Amino acid sequence: MNKGARISIVLVSAAVAVGLILFGIFGYLRTYPPTVVFTPSPTQPHTVDVTLQVEGAVGTGPHPNWVGWYAKDAQGKWVRTTLYQVPEKTYVHVTVYEYDSGGPLRNPYWGKITGTVGNDAVLNGKKVSVLDAAEGNGIGHTMVAPALNLSVPMWGLSGTEKTFCQSGPCTLANAHNTETFTFYTGNHPHNYRWQCFIPCGAGFLNGNGGPMAETGYMAGFWKVVA
């Protein structure tokens, strides 16, 4: 083989290798974090059940010490993500297990529950329309999707609970608050951005960096599809 042919082989091989690496990287970026898909059961059209948990340390991935959310997938497995796909024209019954400590709100308005059916939620079996962050252990996190007018605060725990979850995914054996609420996904497909409004990114400027700024931790999308 002459020199020119050998150089060509080396260059083509290098280009293929670079191409494969980029394909892998962009494929990863396209699918990370994963989207959990929620579909109605045949007997209950226009209704889906979504079960989430939120904790002080996700315990996995590149930032195990960051606050973040998990969703239970169709197989019952907890997936660390903030991307949730639901159908349009559907009532979404959300159950959130809150495992993190709480504190006062920077704006008491965020304690108000809006955008849910009835503008209320059920917290540990009791109907609530506003959570007073000055009471108890305050608010841990919030689920806010502005374009859906959805805003639901999550009651925090005391960090000194004996069974306080140190690292996720947490289990129901850990201390937790259970909050349920229902919202309507609207009549059209749309990606609704949501985030937690707490500034819970401890250790970052004003609590707003790190997990507050990253999909998969405290920000995500409700992906409403046809």
Tell the smallest beta-carbon distance from residue 23 to Cu ion (Å). Answer: 34
Task: Mark the segment that binds Cu ion (CB under 5 A) among 6-14, 37-45, 81-89, 138-146.
Answer: 138-146
Asked if 198 is part of the footprint of Cu ion (rule: CB under 5 A), the reply reads yes
> Number of H helices and number of E strands within the chain?
1, 13
Which strands, in side-by-side order, build the sheet including 35-37?
Answer: 35-37, 83-87, 219-225, 190-195, 139-145, 150-155
C-alpha atoms less than 13 angstroms from C-alpha of 61 in its C-beta half-sphere: 23
Q: Which of 71, 170, 218, 224 is the binder for Cu ion (CB under 5 A)? A: 218
Pairing label, strands 83-87, 139-145: unpaired
**221-81-85 Cα angle (round to 5):** 45
Task: Mark the segment that binds Cu ion (CB under 5 A) among 108-116, 129-137, 139-147, 176-184.
Answer: 139-147
Tell the smallest beta-carbon distance from residue 141 to Cu ion (Å). Answer: 3
- The gap from C-alpha 61 to its chain's centroid, in whole angstroms, comes to 14
Query: Distance (Å, rounded) from C-alpha 172 to C-alpha 186?
Result: 32
Task: Mark the segment that binds Cu ion (CB under 5 A) among 8-16, 103-111, 153-161, 216-224.
Answer: 216-224
Sign of CA dihedral 59, 64, 68, 73: negative
Asked if 52 is part of the footprint of Cu ion (rule: CB under 5 A), the reply reads no
Tell the smallest beta-carbon distance from residue 226 to Cu ion (Å). Answer: 31
Q: Which of 192, 200, 220, 224 is the binder for Cu ion (CB under 5 A)? A: 200
SS3 164: coil
Nearer to Cu ion, 40 or 207 (CB): 207
Asked if 139 is part of the footprint of Cu ion (rule: CB under 5 A), the reply reads no
- Reading phi first (left if > 0) and then psi (alpha if -120 to 50, else beta), residue 183 is in beta
Q: Which of 72, 80, 141, 176 is the binder for Cu ion (CB under 5 A)? A: 141
Q: Which of 196, 221, 222, 223 is the binder for Cu ion (CB under 5 A)? A: 196
Asked whether 87 and 117 are in contact (CB, 8 A), the reply is no
Q: Between the CA atoms of 198, 210, 177 and 167, what dihedral angle is there, to the nearest 10 degrees?
A: -160
Tell the smallest beta-carbon distance from residue 102 to Cu ion (Å). Answer: 10
Asked if 96 is part of the footprint of Cu ion (rule: CB under 5 A), the reply reads no
Task: Mark the segment that binds Cu ion (CB under 5 A) among 20-28, 151-159, 177-185, 192-200.
Answer: 192-200
Nearer to Cu ion, 68 or 87 (CB): 68
Task: Mark the segment that binds Cu ion (CB under 5 A) among 88-96, 117-125, 136-144, 145-153.
Answer: 136-144
Which residues of the chain form contacts with Cu ion (CB under 5 A)? 141, 196, 198, 200, 218
